[in-house]
Amino acid sequence: MGVTDDILPRFQRLPAAGAAAGSRQGFRCRETHIFLAIGVTIVFICFGTIFFLPDLGESIRRIDSLGRVQKRVQDTAEGFLLPPPPHADEAHENLLLRHDGNQIEDPHVVQDRQKLYDKVRSAGALPPPPLAKPRHVDSGDVDNVEVDEVEPPAAPAAPAPADGGGSRETVAPLVIGDDEDPDPVMRHRRDTVKKMMEHAWKGYQMYAWGSNELRPVSKRGHSAGIFGRRPMGATIVDAMDTLYIMGMTEQFAEGRRWIQEHLDASSLDSEVSIFEMNIRYVGGLLSCFAMTGDVLFRDKAHAIARALLPGFNTPTGIPYSLVVPTTGRAKNYGWASGASSILSEFGTLHMEFSYLSDVTGDPEFRKKVERIRQVVRKLDKPNGLYPNYLNPKTGKWGQRHMSVGALGDSFYEYLLKEWIRSGGEDVEALEMFHHAIGNITQRLLKKSKVSGLTYIAEMQYERPNHKMDHLACFIGGLYALAAVTDSNKNSEQYARIGAEITHTCHESYDRTATKLGPENFRFSDAIEAKAMKMQEKYYILRPEVIESYFVLWRMTGDKKYREWGWEAAQAIERHCRAEAGYSGIQNVESSSPRQDDVQQSYFLAETLKYLYLLFSDKSLMPLDEWVLNTEAHPLPIRGANPLYREWRAT
């Protein structure tokens, strides 16, 4: 056999000779049989096992069915988070003791858990990992928050102005300190409100951390459809400036950490309300930025506002009500008069969007709201009034329904307040307010026949509907604010109307069994300021009446508004307090009302903030330096407040 490059040897046939030849022939037969057996075995191993596998089609069907079940469970449980363990020592085996005495989780356990999660997730679609529960920190930790030009590591990059550069003056954070009222009774009341805030926050922290809202009776998370399907921490964002104003620094630091690590506008993959996202998230974050100078809040507000912009892509520039940020798909509510946009929603963007442009150097937001203003201003107004519905495609009014309550309310509020926020520069807003409030006063202001209570009726197809919403009770404070900030020939009249409407709203509280006001109340020849239908008798922790108490107290100094506010605070404590927070009630006329098991995020943002400010010294958030948006998030007044933090081109 010669030299060969083959890896395996080659067998050559040799000439046969006698017995030796026969022996070799037998050897070749056995050799053939061995190779044949080996080949059959290999074929059996490679292909035979197929016959022992389960039916592939059935397996696929089972996997698909399992996926559908998982999706249903995931959708059903959206917003539901298991509460953190009540005692840290239940998991002591996973904790280490730091040198400063604080416990932290063993990093090896954290790494192992993350590796396991990553492996499981790679095998198929899973929901996002559970949100981190709050970690307690020392009060001093909040002092380490970066301000102005110091960028937190996780914050998105600040937008560059059109000219490619910009800066802001470095201003120290707002200091909350000597702002207690000298009256010990008021100090006690303010302390009581702060304890209510602590109770509401603690329940949310324990049972719904990261969810949008809390169910304080059943002790679990809750989310209204306005926030989409994902847990977006609405209560955290809404409560942040209240925590700061109340000096609850530890809780503020917890909320900031969650916002930095978990608030992500890019994950919004279901319909959200542009209006609600603006007043709660954008407004709340901008308020925190103004007070602290921490650019994390500004940049998060910028990211969320950008995520809402696809909703403005309409022929008129009037935005839709709902948008899916990840896809840009937008639409209106089907029930809104032929799928129209709603006056109180597209009319309640100007304050936040204009201020956002000022502090980021990004002009797009101001352009969006200025276009809305131009469209609305040019339209004819039936009897000088603004209908609640406007078609964003045709630019024509929908159903002729006019109201300063639901569907209309904050549009009028923002006309006056944007003029205030701009430092008096937005004269167009003031002119529109004069026109609107003048026609409301002339056409919708009424007196009850029983005892002459002043109220604002609604208008439907040229006919008045003698009903007020709880939501409409903000307008008492708005009249009073206009009387003081915009001094003119109508100021005295507006001050009187504001006081009278606020008195009427107080009567709607005082005439119920619970001393809490109904969602709607009516006026007729026989009744006044009373709910007539069962579906009108609920109270869902709304702030508007207390808001007017606060504004009237600040504008007039009349102590009765503080007494009325204390009555409301006691009634909330008596009927709405639950084991894990505060809940709305279903019937204000019942001496033992049933709770609805929802702690609205605006309860922490508005109701408790207004009560706290009502019992504080007037030096806390003075109204000649701050103007509160419709969710009670304070925005600085341009030219009057050094905390405005405007971006300046360099």
What confidence tens digit (pLDDT) does each residue in 61-119 have?
Answer: 444 444 554 444 444 444 433 344 333 333 333 433 333 333 444 444 445 445 444 44
Q: What pLDDT, on a 0 to 100 scale, did the predictor assign at position 532?
A: 96
How far is the C-alpha of 601 from the C-alpha of 214, rounded, in Å? Answer: 8
Taking the CB of residue 188, how many other CB atoms lie within 10 A of it?
A: 12
Nearest to 386 by CA among 446, 340, 339: 340
Q: pLDDT per residue over 180-193, tens digit each? A: 999 999 999 999 99
Contact 332, 320 (CB under 8 A): yes
| Whole-angstrom distance, CA of residue 418 vs CA of residue 369 | 11
Hey, what amino acid is at 23?
Answer: S
Helix (H) / strand (E) containing 582 = strand 581-582
Q: What is the mean predicted confidence (pLDDT) over 417-443?
A: 98
Task: Identify which of 216, 198, 199, 194 has the alpha carbon closest to the alpha carbon of residue 207.
Answer: 216
Question: How far apart (Å, rounded) are the C-alpha atoms in residues 632 and 263?
Answer: 21
Tokens encoding 300:
């998060």
CA distance 529 to 523: 6
Residue with tokens 């037998």: 26
CB 184 within 8 A of CB 192: no
Structure tokens, 81: 């988070």
Residue 225's CB is within 10 A of a number of other CB atoms, namely 12
The answer to whether the CB of 526 falls within 8 A of the CB of 450 is yes
Question: Percentage of the chain surpassing pLDDT 90?
Answer: 71
Per the CB < 8 A criterion, the answer to whether 217 and 585 are in contact is no
User: Has residue 407 got a pLDDT over 70?
Assistant: yes
Q: Identify the residue with better confidence: 177 or 626.
A: 626
Q: What is the pLDDT of residue 536?
A: 98
CA 267 to chain centre: 14
Token look-up 């605006």 returns: 602
> CA 184, 570, 629, 153: dihedral to nearest 10 degrees?
80
- Cβ proximity of 538 and 544 under 8 Å: no
Burial zone of 58 (CB within 10 Å; 0-12 exposed, 13-18 middle, 19+ buried) = exposed
* Res 164 pLDDT > 50: no
* pLDDT number for residue 152: 35
Q: CA nearest 536: which of 469, 636, 618?
A: 469
CB neighbours of residue 404 within 10 Å = 30
The Cα angle at residue 603 between residues 599 and 606, in degrees rounded to 5: 165
For residues 10 and 179, what is the distance between their CA atoms, to the nearest angstrom? Answer: 101
Beta bridge partners of 324: 329
C-alpha to C-alpha distance for 293 and 299, rounded to whole angstroms: 11
> Average pLDDT for residues 259-266, to the nearest whole number?
95
| 212, 232 Cβ separation under 8 angstroms | yes
φ and ψ at residue 398, rounded to 5 degrees: -95, -140
Please indicate whether residue 213 is annotated as part of the active site.
no
Count CA within 13 A, CB hemisphere, residue 604: 37
Return the CA Rg of the chain: 33
Tell me the pLDDT band of 266, cut-offs 50, 70 and 90: confident
- Give percent of the chain above pLDDT 70: 74
pLDDT in tens, 165-181: 454 556 889 988 879 99
Q: Which of 254, 276, 519, 606 is catalytic?
A: 519
Q: Indicate whether 603 pLDDT > 60.
A: yes
Domains with residue ranges and CATH for the chain: 144-639 (1.50.10.10)
- Which H/E stretch holds residue 114? helix 107-122
Q: Taking a C-beta distance cutoff of 8 angstroms, is the pair 497, 445 a contact?
A: yes
Higher pLDDT, 366 or 12: 366
Entry pTM: 0.77
The dihedrals phi and psi of 451, each to the nearest 5 degrees, come to -135, 15
CA distance 330 to 305: 15
Please name the residues in contact with 430: beta carbons below 8 A apart, sequence gap of 6 or more: 415, 416, 419, 424, 486
**Alpha-carbon span 189 to 435, nearest angstrom:** 40
Cβ 538 vs Cβ 587: under 8 Å: yes
Q: How confident is the model at residue 483, as a pLDDT?
A: 98
Q: What is the mean pLDDT of the chain?
A: 83
pLDDT exceeds cutoff 60 at 268: yes
pLDDT reading at 565 higher than 80: yes
Q: Determine the Cα–Cα distance for residues 233 and 131; give it in Å rounded to an integer.
A: 10
Q: Which has more pLDDT, 166 or 296? A: 296
Here the tokens at position 521 are 């109340």
Predicted local confidence at residue 48, as pLDDT: 52
User: What span, in angstroms and rounded, lies between the C-alpha atoms of 443 and 596?
Assistant: 37
- pLDDT digit string (tens) for 522-539? 999 999 999 999 999 999
Give the DSSP letter of residue 619: T
- Give the tokens for residue 76: 């059903």
Q: Work out the end-to-end distance of the chain between its first and last CA atoms, rounded to an integer number of angstroms.
A: 89
Residue matched to tokens 């109204």: 623
∠ CA 382-385-387, nearest 5°, is 80
Integer Cα distance of 408 and 402 in angstroms: 7
